[in-house]
Amino acid sequence: MAGPNGVGSSGLALPASVDVVVVGAGNAALCAALAAAERGSSVLVLERAPEAEAGGNSRFTAGAFRCVYDGVADLRALMPDLTDAEVAQTDFGTYTAGQFFDDMGRVTEYRTDPELCAVLVNESRATLRWMRETGVRFMPIWGRQAYRVEGRFKFWGGLTVEAWGGGPGLIEALYASARRRGVAIAFGARAVDMIAGDDGRIAGVRVRLGGRTVDVAAKAVVLASGGFEANAEWRTRYLGPGWDLAKVRGTRFNTGDGIRMALDFGAEAAGNWSGCHAVGWDRNAPDFGDLAVGDGFQKHSYPLGVMLNARGERFVDEGADFRNYTYAKYGRVILEQQHQFAWQIFDAQVAPLLRDEYRIRQATKVSADTLEALVGKLEGVDPAAALATLHAFNAAVMRDKPFDPNVKDRRATRGLAVPKSNWANPLETPPFEAYQVTCGVTFTFGGLKVDAQARVLSADAGPIPGLFAAGELVGGLFYFNYPGGTGLMAGAVFGKIAGAGAAAHAGGA
């Protein structure tokens, strides 16, 4: 590296030049940095956030990765800590490439880019093994993706693996691996522009830090700085009216900088710019993510109960599918309700199955021993209409079907305008609990057009020499919805590819 030309908030002196600059410092960015460093490149990571808030959206996640596995042997390669006793009491099943392709096609209404989707699916298993080799530990998603039924766990929904320690544990492991590899990480360093060489190639990045603007020359740049979900103006411009009112689940620093810089440089836009990953999120959560709570503000056990809006009406099929395949789109539906909220209601039969996030002290919760008393506590809801809705729901439940939370049990309702297709339990066992939720936006689906080598394409469809991208700012993978766990998996897959490609380009530049 050449001599320093600026100092970040961590005290790191920015080099005047490096082989590869990575913009962003979440899962995708750090995978890119590691892959480039493994190939001998000097690497500088620019993190806009201060060190205390570093890690992008990845740090706010539960750390789940959706990957192909053919059975327990594949999982044990990722999780050697699994004991024989744990294996004996668990049905891990399999998650084949065919199932992954089917899920990606179905939930995106077959709009997912086939080339990018193929890379994601086919590289998922090998990428997690590579991450394991770099120092990331994994474990099964006990409790959130498998219920204990008659003494045995059964995993469902194709999602089995999470990083040890969730999102924070993932980021800590990746940071430790990057530092061991000699990757330099500058905090409080915001990339504001890209520098063009005489031949139109990427020649570096312009950085704002400490009140100064400095240039860092680079042979290749990887953009991995997230989507534009923390930019209220862009949300309203692209997602539509009302989206400025949504809560932001993660970092306040994902305002679209990487996307803007690339578009200004001539990159082509791609993907579902009017779409995003948005979930049910506590009504009284802060405007941006809180690292002390992490993803605890999410409320994802709605398939076990019912949701009511301000008019006291149900408005979605809570049991349409496993929550993995509906939670990322139901946030939008909640935002569309009057006053942008809903109440999730459960009874004592299912209360023991609620996810841990329902037990945080910050939850907006009411309870009562009768439904009549409960609806009177639902702030902002028409109580008479709500009570009528709940009674109608109870009467419509097909009680002859056995309840089983580990499968689509077809325990449904009959005769309702809004059906419930699975897990329809009558609300009749007190005490009753209700949780108020609004919309929490996770990340946006629109972004940059890249090819299978993670090269950013220009508006005339040719790759921009030296420019690569990975993570949330890649457009084309997700439309309307996404299967749970694919965000981190896509970030890792394309981050690894982008870093390797950037190193190869730097070596040949």
Tokens 């908030």 correspond to what residue?
Answer: 9
pLDDT digits (tens, 9 = 90+) for 35-80: 999 999 999 999 999 999 999 999 999 999 999 999 999 999 999 9
pLDDT digits (tens, 9 = 90+) for 364-415: 999 999 999 999 999 999 999 999 999 999 999 999 999 999 999 999 999 9
Question: Where do you find CATH 3.90.700.10 in the chain?
Answer: 277-440
Neighbours of 400 (CB within 10 A): 6
Question: CA-to-CA distance for 427 and 425, rounded, in angstroms?
Answer: 6
Architecture of domain 277-440: Alpha-Beta Complex (3.90)
Q: How many CA atoms lie within 13 A of 441 on its CB side?
A: 34
pLDDT digits (tens, 9 = 90+) for 488-504: 999 999 999 999 999 99
Question: Region 434-445: what's the mean pLDDT?
Answer: 98
How high is the pLDDT of residue 12?
Answer: 64
Tokens 């002859």 correspond to what residue?
Answer: 400
Q: Which helix (H) or strand (E) holds 131?
A: helix 114-134
Helix pair angle (166-180, 114-134), 10° resolution: 70
Burial class (CB in 10 A: 0-12, 13-18, 19+), 491: buried
Burial class (CB in 10 A: 0-12, 13-18, 19+), 243: buried
Q: How many CA atoms lie within 13 A of 286 on its CB side?
A: 13
Q: 188 is written with which tokens? A: 């409080």
**pLDDT band (50, 70, 90) for residue 247:** very high
Strand partners for 468? 222, 455
508 phi and psi angles, rounded to 5 deg: -100, -5
* Residue 6 pLDDT exceeds 60: no
* Percent of the chain clearing pLDDT 70 (strictly above): 97
Question: Region 200-220: what's the mean pLDDT?
Answer: 95
* Residue 114 pLDDT exceeds 60: yes
Whole-number average pLDDT of the chain = 95
**pLDDT band (50, 70, 90) for residue 199:** confident
**DSSP assignments along 351-402, one per residue:** GGGS-GGGGSTT--EEEESSHHHHHTTSTTS-HHHHHHHHHHHHHHB-TTSP
207 phi and psi angles, rounded to 5 deg: -125, 135
Question: Where do you find CATH 3.50.50.60 in the chain?
Answer: 4-61+169-275+445-474+484-508
pLDDT digits (tens, 9 = 90+) for 288-307: 999 999 999 999 999 999 99
How high is the pLDDT of residue 4?
Answer: 52
Whole-structure pTM value: 0.93
* Residue 235 pLDDT exceeds 60: yes
4-61+169-275+445-474+484-508 classified as CATH 3.50.50.60 = yes
